[in-house]
Amino acid sequence: MAWTDLVSGCFGFGTAPFATNRPDEESAKEAIAAARAEGASKAEFAQVIAMYPRKYIKSDQLLRERIREDAARLDKLWKVAPVY
């Protein structure tokens, strides 16, 4: 399974933020590890997770804030996710 297929499991439901609870965080670590194993960069991963809120949030201001929050969680998880 490609790492991009694992990203959807990092959101509790469609409008939920990225990796905000324990199961979603574990899914995010798995997806990050898979992305690294496939040679993806953190920027590429961030682009993929930024697509999710765009489906549901129409306000540009709210969208920017949500993407910023998701990116901050990604920064923390990228550092601690296992590398295979």
3-state secondary structure of 11: strand
The pLDDT tens digits for 53-78 are 998 899 999 999 999 999 999 999 99
The residues facing 18 across adjacent strands are 11
Mean residue pLDDT across the chain: 92
Among candidate residues 47, 13, 43, 41, the one with its CA nearest the CA of residue 27:
13
pLDDT above 70 covers a percentage of the chain that reads 95
